[in-house]
Structure 1
Amino acid sequence: MRKDPDTILAGDIGGTKTNLAIFSRGEGLLKSLAEATFPSGNYKGFGDMVREFLSGTDFKVDQACIGVAGPVIGGRAKVTNLPWVLEEKELETELGFNSVRLMNDLLAFANAVPLLEEEDLFVLNQGRQDPEGSRAIIAPGTGLGEAYLTWDGSMFRAYPSEGGHADFAPADGFQADMFGYLKERMEHVSYEQVCSGIGLRNIYSYLKEGVRMPEPSWLAEEISSAGDSVPVIFRNASNRDRPCDICRKAVSLFLSILGAAAGSMALHFMATGGVYLGGGIPPRITELLQGGEFMDSFTDKGRMSDLVAGIPVRVIKSPRAALMGAARCGTMEARDEQ
């Protein structure tokens, strides 16, 4: 095993799986030198996993930058859906590293945006990109994550946001009625509650229980068997052989709300460098995103509609974005310390 001061360990820790990779600063961050995926629940701690990974490579690193599914406060993180509690200083000691940096997984994801190439992206709106313009990321998955990047004169720097927990603003009477239905059942109706995996379930519940749209028996059986209703609803919304009104309406609402939220982010951050859709959902529904509801709501901004219509919108397809972003962040920190 050889120690290379030019390498960095990047990680993307999730409740189900963890991806680890070694990148070389000198050879660029688009391709890893070594990479592996581990079932998170099979390990007592992150350190055990890292040691196993490194033992199977020819590299010994002394710096790590790790994206974590959960908040990172003061260098400490409790991983969502895992019993792990991670602390930067403890990991440095345990692993013998000079530096360990923990960051929220969406911040790692955002750091990848400047590295992405055309094949990593699916274009929803070509727009007119300002090469140095701010960039916004909205990422619906289980929840709703947001982040943004700004140009500092020499590079893009990423910053976290908790905009997914901002108040949901209904765009019409139907959405206002849904807001009222949800407000009776929860303390705070945020965008995450209507624009994520959680959100799609809430929308579907409103249509079924609040509006009384019929749920076909075959759909109820499919949802019950699947355990997770989200992929079932998305799949049947575009099923031309067996039309499903409640699924189509749920997804139509979801896309409209996502488009409105993304368009608002474009205005909040003056994101002339583009709006990027990440997370677990958008790469799986690119056909639905092209259907009109998303972009119609994205550009429906009154006097600012023409401005927003010119902003590029892209879906991030690369499953390695969080790893690349973590590596980029670690590289930037090393450069800043010099």
Structure 2
Amino acid sequence: MKHVLAGDVGGTKTVLCLYRVNATKPAGTSLEEVHKAVYPSSGYERFGDLVTSFLATVAPLRPERACFGIAGPIQQQRCNATNLPWVIDAGKLAEDFGFEDVYLINDLEAAAYGMLHLAADEFVELNPHAAPQAGHAAVIAAGTGLGQAIMAWDGQRHIVMPTEGGHCDFGANSSQEDALLVFLRERFGGHVSGERILAGDGFGNLYDFLRASGHAPPNAAIEAEMLHEDRNAVISRHGLQGDDPLCTEVMRLFVRIYGSEAGNLALKCLPRGGIYIGGGIAPKIRAALETGLFMQGFLDKGRMARAIEHIPVRLSLNPEAPLLGAAHMALSRSCC
């Protein structure tokens, strides 16, 4: 085998990368990036059309195997993408493109495997009382959606279990969050998941809640910016700058609730090996995550705070963890 194709398939964008397999280095088999491209997911009617475009750019090179991390549940190697009108079938992709093997995994499953291949300097530790141990680990990642995965430790290696934990109920933890839950329940006509807050659109939902509740008057200049730029990005930017009361409170709420949900995940699987914070949003709001507010939310678990107080909480600075995870999965399957 000479090349593998890896993909990180998200609701907003899809990243494809061709890797060369190097099997002669002293450390063993490694992957070398040959060509990478980013595509707007909504610009393609079918996922196969996107793959066709990519393969045309790398011709005459041709991958023998492929693995795609997809934002959506995988069942029998078939996926209905969560935020896209795509049905992705591994068998059909292999047949259409002549691949020896195509393997589909959940995007958070891919991110989890990718975390295992990042260097130590690609993480920032958020827990000042962390005490790393060998054991289970977990990943939580806010991006277009909210993903979660558990990395079960069998004594020798981590086995990743994908979940749809981001769609579990949002658990309010203060009177303000009680009011937020009521607001969002009315907005969405019932069930409110964590993803309604801890995702790109969550900034807008939090802003609308605070504006409607009279937390502070809106800034006309900032709302004008929202008409010409991505609304969530505008809110996030001003929240980080701290130059607007509404946006600043949005960021405070987002970070604290993010920490709370990470703590919920920690209680469910006791990841002594660490919680990894992935996704596209976290590196962009690193300064807010490092204020200590995230950890306050993480540890606000009453009498059970002691059970998770020493768990490492590692912010990943490499947004390509899902891509790396998919590539290494394609490589590992070739060795089976």
TM score, norm. by length of structure 1:
0.88
User: For the residues of structure 2 that align with 1:129 and 1:192, how far apart are their CA atoms?
Assistant: 28
Residue ranges of structure 1 left out of the alignment (5+ in a row): none
Task: Report which stretch shifted further, 77-86 or 153-162.
Answer: 77-86
User: Unaligned regions of 5+ residues in structure 2, if any?
Assistant: none
Tell me by how many angstroms 1:261 deviates.
0.4
Equivalent residue, structure 1, for 2:146: 144
The CA distance in 2 between the partners of 1:93 and 1:100, in whole Å, is 9
Once residues 205 and 223 of structure 2 are traced to their aligned partners in structure 1, the CA distance between those partners, rounded to angstroms, is 16
Report the counterpart of residue 125 of structure 1 in structure 2: 127
Q: Which has the higher mean CA deviation after the structures are superposed, 175-184 or 251-260? A: 175-184
Distance 1:112 1:298 in 2: 24
- Structure 1 position 114, deviation (Å): 1.3
Determine if the alignment matches structure 1 residue 106 to structure 2 residue 103: no
Correspondence for 1:51: 55
Q: Tell me the equivalent position of 1:24.
A: 21
Q: Relative to 1, partners in 2 of residues 1:212 and 1:263: Cα closer, same or farther, differing over 3 Å?
A: closer
Q: Aligned with 2:270: secondary structure?
A: coil
Q: Secondary structure at the match of 2:259?
A: helix
Letter aligned with residue 49 of structure 1: S
User: Structure 2: how far apart are the matches of 1:274 and 1:23?
Assistant: 31
Counterparts of 2:5 and 2:183, CA distance in 1: 47
Larger deviation, residues 40-49 vs 85-94: 40-49
**Identity among equivalent pairs (%):** 33
| Contact persistence 2:35–2:58 (CA under 8 A) | no
* Matched AA of 1:158: V
Distance 1:12 1:29 in 2: 22
Deviation readout 1:215-257 (Å, 9 max, x if unpaired): 011111111221x2222112112325xx211111111111111
Q: 1:174, CA displacement in angstroms? A: 1.1
Matched, 1:158 2:155: no
Partner secondary structure for residue 32 of structure 1: strand
Is 1:192–2:178 an aligned residue pair? no
- Alignment deviations for residues 42-78 of structure 1 (CA, whole Å, 9 cap, x no partner): 6861441353244154xx4321111223333322234
Partners of 1:139 and 1:146 within 8 A in 2: yes
C-alpha deviations, 1:145-197, integer Å up to 9, x for none?
Answer: 11110122321111111111111111111111111122122221111112222
Cα distance in 1, alignment partners of residues 87 and 165 from structure 2: 25
Correspondences of 1:33-72 after superposition (within 5 Å): 33-40=33-40, 41=43, 45-55=49-59, 57=61, 60-72=62-74
The secondary structure found in structure 1 opposite 2:222 is helix
Task: Specify which of 5, 8, 11 is matched with residue 9 of structure 1.
Answer: 5
> Using a 3 Å threshold, how does the CA distance of structure 1 residues 246 and 161 change in structure 2: closer, same or farther?
same
Shift in Å, 1:332: 3.4
Which position in structure 1 is the counterpart of 2:208? 205
SS at match of 2:178: helix
Q: Is the 8 A contact 2:66 2:103 kept in 1?
A: yes
SS at match of 2:95: helix
Distance between the aligned counterparts of 1:29 and 1:306, measured in 2? 42
The answer for the alignment partner of 1:323 in structure 2 is: 323
**Which position in structure 2 is the counterpart of 1:303?**
303
Moved more, 211-220 or 245-254: 211-220
Between the aligned partners of 1:30 and 1:318, the Cα distance in structure 2 is 18
Matches within 5 A, 1:165-176: 165-176=167-178
Map 1:279-298 onto structure 2 (within 5 A).
Answer: 279-298=279-298
User: For the structure 1 residues 6 and 51, does the alpha-carbon distance in structure 2 shift closer, same or farther, using more than 3 Å as the test?
Assistant: closer
Is the CA contact 1:181–1:210 (under 8 Å) kept in the aligned structure 2?
no
SS of the aligned residue for 1:297 comes to helix
Question: Whole-Å Cα distance in 1 between the matches of residues 84 and 180 of structure 2?
Answer: 33
Q: Classify the secondary structure of the residue corresponding to 2:187.
A: coil
SS of the equivalent of 2:126 reads strand
Tell me how far 1:85 sits from its aligned partner.
3.4
Rounded to whole Å, the distance in 1 between the matches of 2:214 and 2:30 is: 48
